[in-house]
Homo-oligomer: A and B are copies of this chain.
Amino acid sequence: MSSIYDNPYTALKTIFHEPNRLAIMSALCSSADGLTFKELKESCELTDGNLSRHLKALEEAQVILIEKKFIGAKPRTTVVLTDIGRESFVDYLKALEEVLKKAAEAVAAGGEEGISLPLAWIKPANA
Protein backbone atom coordinates (compact mmCIF):
# COMPACT_ATOMS: atom_id res chain seq x y z
CA MET A 1 0.00 0.00 0.00
CA SER A 2 1.23 3.46 -0.81
CA SER A 3 1.39 6.26 1.73
CA ILE A 4 2.47 9.89 1.66
CA TYR A 5 5.79 8.71 3.11
CA ASP A 6 6.69 6.70 -0.02
CA ASN A 7 7.86 9.92 -1.60
CA PRO A 8 7.28 12.96 0.61
CA TYR A 9 8.40 15.30 -2.20
CA THR A 10 5.50 14.10 -4.36
CA ALA A 11 3.19 14.63 -1.39
CA LEU A 12 4.17 18.33 -1.40
CA LYS A 13 2.60 18.81 -4.83
CA THR A 14 -0.65 20.15 -3.43
CA ILE A 15 -2.65 23.35 -3.63
CA PHE A 16 -1.13 24.28 -0.22
CA HIS A 17 2.52 24.42 -1.26
CA GLU A 18 2.46 27.95 -2.71
CA PRO A 19 3.81 30.21 0.10
CA ASN A 20 0.83 32.61 0.23
CA ARG A 21 -1.63 29.71 0.38
CA LEU A 22 0.43 28.16 3.17
CA ALA A 23 0.08 31.45 5.08
CA ILE A 24 -3.69 31.55 4.46
CA MET A 25 -4.23 27.92 5.54
CA SER A 26 -2.07 28.37 8.62
CA ALA A 27 -4.01 31.48 9.67
CA LEU A 28 -7.36 29.72 9.11
CA CYS A 29 -6.30 26.66 11.13
CA SER A 30 -5.93 28.73 14.27
CA SER A 31 -9.54 29.93 14.22
CA ALA A 32 -12.44 27.44 14.44
CA ASP A 33 -14.94 30.22 13.60
CA GLY A 34 -13.05 31.37 10.52
CA LEU A 35 -11.57 34.74 9.69
CA THR A 36 -12.92 37.74 7.81
CA PHE A 37 -11.42 38.78 4.48
CA LYS A 38 -9.93 41.82 6.22
CA GLU A 39 -8.35 39.73 9.00
CA LEU A 40 -6.83 37.30 6.48
CA LYS A 41 -5.54 40.14 4.34
CA GLU A 42 -3.74 41.72 7.30
CA SER A 43 -2.50 38.46 8.75
CA CYS A 44 -1.07 37.26 5.42
CA GLU A 45 0.12 40.67 4.14
CA LEU A 46 -1.67 40.26 0.82
CA THR A 47 -3.45 42.67 -1.53
CA ASP A 48 -7.21 42.31 -2.09
CA GLY A 49 -6.57 40.93 -5.57
CA ASN A 50 -3.99 38.37 -4.50
CA LEU A 51 -6.04 37.15 -1.55
CA SER A 52 -9.18 36.84 -3.72
CA ARG A 53 -7.32 34.82 -6.32
CA HIS A 54 -5.91 32.36 -3.75
CA LEU A 55 -9.25 32.03 -1.94
CA LYS A 56 -10.98 31.22 -5.22
CA ALA A 57 -8.48 28.41 -5.91
CA LEU A 58 -8.84 27.04 -2.36
CA GLU A 59 -12.65 27.22 -2.59
CA GLU A 60 -12.66 25.34 -5.90
CA ALA A 61 -10.55 22.63 -4.24
CA GLN A 62 -13.24 22.50 -1.49
CA VAL A 63 -10.75 23.09 1.32
CA ILE A 64 -12.42 26.35 2.42
CA LEU A 65 -15.91 27.83 2.48
CA ILE A 66 -16.47 31.50 1.70
CA GLU A 67 -19.54 32.98 3.41
CA LYS A 68 -20.88 36.37 2.36
CA LYS A 69 -23.28 38.11 4.73
CA PHE A 70 -24.66 41.59 5.20
CA ILE A 71 -24.13 43.11 8.64
CA GLY A 72 -26.63 45.94 8.31
CA ALA A 73 -25.72 47.59 5.00
CA LYS A 74 -22.14 46.34 5.07
CA PRO A 75 -21.08 43.13 3.33
CA ARG A 76 -18.81 40.84 5.33
CA THR A 77 -16.88 37.91 3.88
CA THR A 78 -15.90 35.14 6.29
CA VAL A 79 -13.63 32.26 5.34
CA VAL A 80 -13.68 28.92 7.19
CA LEU A 81 -11.82 25.66 6.68
CA THR A 82 -13.80 22.59 5.64
CA ASP A 83 -13.18 19.32 7.52
CA ILE A 84 -11.49 17.89 4.43
CA GLY A 85 -9.44 21.06 4.12
CA ARG A 86 -8.10 20.74 7.65
CA GLU A 87 -7.36 17.02 7.22
CA SER A 88 -5.57 17.40 3.91
CA PHE A 89 -3.58 20.37 5.21
CA VAL A 90 -2.41 18.30 8.20
CA ASP A 91 -1.36 15.53 5.75
CA TYR A 92 0.57 18.13 3.76
CA LEU A 93 2.28 19.38 6.95
CA LYS A 94 3.33 15.80 7.78
CA ALA A 95 4.97 15.49 4.35
CA LEU A 96 6.65 18.87 4.85
CA GLU A 97 7.96 17.73 8.23
CA GLU A 98 9.37 14.55 6.66
CA VAL A 99 11.07 16.55 3.87
CA LEU A 100 12.55 19.05 6.31
CA LYS A 101 13.90 16.24 8.48
CA LYS A 102 15.53 14.51 5.47
CA ALA A 103 17.06 17.80 4.29
CA ALA A 104 18.41 18.70 7.73
CA GLU A 105 19.97 15.23 8.03
CA ALA A 106 21.53 15.62 4.58
CA VAL A 107 22.96 19.03 5.46
CA ALA A 108 24.40 17.59 8.68
CA ALA A 109 25.85 14.54 6.86
CA GLY A 110 27.53 16.52 4.07
CA GLY A 111 28.27 19.67 6.04
CA GLU A 112 31.70 21.17 6.14
CA GLU A 113 33.01 22.47 9.44
CA GLY A 114 32.18 26.07 10.07
CA ILE A 115 28.77 25.91 8.38
CA SER A 116 26.08 27.20 10.69
CA LEU A 117 23.45 24.56 11.34
CA PRO A 118 20.94 25.91 13.82
CA LEU A 119 18.03 23.80 12.58
CA ALA A 120 16.20 22.20 15.48
CA TRP A 121 16.19 18.94 13.51
CA ILE A 122 19.94 18.65 13.71
CA LYS A 123 21.12 17.32 17.01
CA PRO A 124 24.45 18.74 18.20
CA ALA A 125 27.27 16.18 18.08
CA ASN A 126 27.74 16.28 21.85
CA ALA A 127 24.04 15.69 22.68
Give the residue name and chain of the B residue nearest to A92 (CB): B103
Copies in the complex: 2
Chain B residue numbers with a CB within 8 Å of A116 are 90
Q: Give the bracket for the number of chain A residues in contact with chain B.
A: 35 or more
Give the residue name and chain of the B residue nearest to A120 (CB): B97
A3 to B118, CA, bound (A): 15
A41 in the interface, Cβ–Cβ < 8 Å?
no
**Closest beta carbon of chain B to A113's beta carbon, Å:** 11
A44 to B106, CA, bound (A): 14
Chain B residue numbers with a CB within 8 Å of A104 are 93
A92 to B7, CA, bound (A): 20
A109 in the interface, Cβ–Cβ < 8 Å?
yes
Docked-complex contact A9 and B23, CB < 8 angstroms: yes
Binding stretch for chain B, among A14-22, A60-68, A69-77: A14-22
Docked-complex contact A109 and B22, CB < 8 angstroms: no
Chain B residue numbers with a CB within 8 Å of A86 are 107, 115
Docked-complex contact A22 and B26, CB < 8 angstroms: no
Docked-complex contact B44 and A110, CB < 8 angstroms: no
Chain B residue numbers with a CB within 8 Å of A117 are 90
